[in-house]
């Protein structure tokens, strides 16, 4: 045992969930994260603020980190092992797009064997999943979440910058076949962009027996074009779905769960609503994030990152790393400030932070 205490912050929250970003690279260019052009980034603003809809030009995408600056798989494994020894029970591998990281199945195999780890999951856009699906399952991956914001091929391409809907649908089918259950699918809901698909996405979840998550649009985009008018509140999402489907609440003992959940009374599938903008759940937050370049973020909207790569590479012992993690977690913010006058959007996008 490295240390006798858990990872707890100054507000009494105990960290049980670590999100690990494996790469800052992504093969999609989603509007709410890494749009490729100003036209892509701004076209949904035109209804509200036409004056802020400039002529199309190539956006300055964030520079990719050189390979030497990214944590190695061995460094990630070591940090995860130490975190698990301090009470972390759930690891979610993210990106960027994590399937772009070479030898991902090796890392999954190493982490999956850690004593005390109860859940090992992966979040992906699904485009490359068939190439690694069987190897990941055999290595010990337990669950998977796919991003799919639209069931309409043209709207999918508009939102992601890529023509990949059929590949994602095939990946969902394959994940179910491999037993990576429950298969989760996430959709970011943006007003007048894909909110008209709420009912069809929920129907897809029911028909395919999926756990579908509707997520409020958050200010984590490269182009800084987020507008509160574009947020479809979780309450509105629920009201629309309740008007079409017979839903019953799913009662969970996990107070730190981010989604409020409902199951279809037909007995197949469920929907969840994640509403960090209008119904913040900061008081029960039990997660931290590790970026691909070795920074710990104590909140998705943190303005400060804590370096963990330097001690990892400068000979620090496991005990030293554990103490460093405890010191960092103690500084975890009480809450985010979205919607408040003093809110400042983080410099890095979701692709760099890790979802």
What structural domains does the chain harbor? 17-353 (3.20.20.70)
Mean pLDDT, residues 68-72: 95
Residue 65: closest CA among 293, 222, 221: 293
Type and span of the H or E element at 334: none
| Predicted local distance difference test score (pLDDT) of residue 3 | 44
Type and span of the H or E element at 342: none
The span from the CA of 278 to the CA of 239, in Å, is 15
Q: Give per-residue pLDDT as tens, 28-51.
A: 988 888 766 555 556 555 555 555
Range of weakest confidence among 227-236, 309-318, 321-330: 227-236
Distances from the Cα of 167 to the Cα of 64, 125, 143, angstroms: 26, 10, 19
The span from the CA of 169 to the CA of 172, in Å, is 5
Question: Could you give the count of Cα atoms lying within 13 Å of 165 in the half-sphere of its Cβ?
Answer: 12
Q: Give per-residue pLDDT as tens, 271-289.
A: 999 998 888 788 889 999 9
The span from the CA of 149 to the CA of 185, in Å, is 9
Round to the nearest angstrom and report the end-to-end CA distance of the chain.
29
pLDDT above 90 for 198 = yes
Range of weakest confidence among 13-17, 179-183, 254-258: 254-258
Range of weakest confidence among 161-165, 208-212, 232-236, 301-305: 301-305
């Amino acid at each position: 045992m490295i240390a006798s205490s858990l990872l707890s912050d100054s507000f009494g929250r105990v960290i049980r969930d670590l999100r690990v970003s494996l790469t800052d690279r992504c093969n999609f260019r989603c509007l709410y994260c890494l749009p490729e052009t100003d036209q892509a980034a701004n076209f949904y603003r035109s209804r509200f603020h036409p004056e802020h809809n400039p002529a199309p030009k190539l956006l300055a995408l964030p520079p990719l980190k050189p390979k030497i600056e990214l944590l190695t798989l061995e460094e990630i494994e070591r940090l995860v092992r130490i975190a698990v020894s301090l009470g972390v029970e759930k690891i979610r591998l993210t990106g960027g797009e994590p399937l772009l990281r070479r030898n991902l199945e090796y890392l999954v195999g190493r982490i999956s064997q850690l004593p005390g780890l109860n859940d090992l999951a992966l979040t992906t856009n699904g485009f490359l999943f068939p190439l690694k699906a069987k190897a990941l399952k055999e290595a010990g991956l337990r669950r998977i979440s796919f991003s799919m914001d639209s069931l309409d091929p043209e709207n999918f391409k508009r939102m992601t910058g890529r023509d990949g809907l059929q590949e994602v649908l095939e990946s969902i089918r394959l994940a179910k076949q491999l037993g990576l259950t429950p298969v989760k699918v996430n959709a970011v809901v943006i007003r007048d962009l894909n909110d008209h698909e709420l009912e069809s996405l929920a129907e897809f979840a029911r028909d395919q027996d999926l756990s579908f998550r509707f997520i409020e649009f958050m200010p984590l985009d490269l182009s800084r074009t987020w507008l509160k008018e574009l947020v479809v509140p979780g309450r509105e999402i629920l009201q629309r779905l309740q008007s079409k489907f017979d839903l019953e609440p799913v009662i969970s003992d996990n107070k730190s769960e981010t989604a409020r959940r409902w199951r279809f009374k037909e007995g197949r599938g469920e929907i969840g609503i994640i509403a960090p903008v209008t119904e913040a759940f900061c008081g029960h937050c039990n997660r931290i994030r590790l970026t691909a370049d070795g920074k710990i973020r104590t909140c998705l909207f943190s303005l400060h990152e804590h370096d963990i790569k330097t001690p990892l590479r400068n000979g620090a012992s496991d005990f030293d790393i554990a103490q460093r993690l405890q010191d960092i977690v103690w500084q975890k913010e009480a809450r985010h400030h979205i919607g408040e006058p003093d809110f400042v959007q983080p410099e890095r996008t979701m692709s760099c932070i890790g979802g």
